[in-house]
Amino acid sequence: MAGALSDALDGSVAVVTGGASGIGRATAELLGEAGARVFVADLHEAAGFESIRTDVTDDAAILQLAETVRVRAGAPHVLVNAAGWDESRPFVENDVAFIERVVRINLLGCVKVTRAFLPGMIEAGRGKLVNVASDAGRVGSSGESVYAGAKGGVIAFTKSVARELARVPIHANCVSPGPTDTPLFASMPEKLRAALLRAIPFGRLARPEEVAQAIVFFAGRRSDYLTGQTLSVSGGLTMAG
């Protein structure tokens, strides 16, 4: 994988939110192997990368992240919004604080981080934006109504940015994972995890690196004529006609 993409990403600067674990961590590793200089923005330290502690629900922290990257490396070539969080609960048990937290992290975090970095990318005249949505946002998911709504918003936001900025060109695409072997999936109730696993045609969860490979595809040169797209990585769970 790294050898195939090294020419495309050598010398590139990439920022990955949520890059300390799960899909974000796997993405940061693949981008680094492909030759990019990777900044990881996360609440937790990401060993092996230029790690910047960032809370994507904190406006000041987001602005500081963008400024730190600008000073150290200039405008990024690649921005990956992979930060996310949820807990599985019936919708009627969602209190206002929970609803607002889910939306702030999964939708507004993506929107605000993108807004902070886009001016520099526009000025540079190029950029690859890859947002990590979820197939919950495409087809719905029991016990994840607010999360699904937020991730559906990420998909619509990405398509709109793609339309607005195609002439720069800024490429904006979504990777939409199905059930994946991450800490977030492990936190779900056992009964729900078992049901999802049974429903996957491949009969297993995605590995984080398998989702990351799709993200790195959108980050590299082989996706230069793609924008506004949503690619499901779900082992066939969410096939669409």
The reported pLDDT for the residue numbered 180 is 87
Lowest model confidence (mean pLDDT) among 40-49, 182-191, 228-237? 182-191
The encoded tokens of residue 24 equal 């974000």
The reported pLDDT for the residue numbered 164 is 98
Q: Is the pLDDT of residue 113 over 70?
A: yes
Average pLDDT over residues 163-169: 98
53 to 3, 44, 46, 65: CA distances (angstroms):
30, 6, 9, 8
Within a domain: residue 111? yes
* 96, containing H or E segment: helix 96-103
Residues with a known catalytic role: 147
Q: What is the CATH number of the domain that holds 156?
A: 3.40.50.720
Q: Is the pLDDT of residue 218 over 50?
A: yes
Average pLDDT over residues 25-41: 97
Within a domain: residue 240? no
Range of the domain at 181: 2-233
Within a domain: residue 195? yes
Within a domain: residue 238? no
Within a domain: residue 241? no
The reported pLDDT for the residue numbered 148 is 96
The tally of domains found in the chain comes to: 1
Task: State the pLDDT confidence band at 187, using cuts at 50, 70 and 90.
Answer: confident
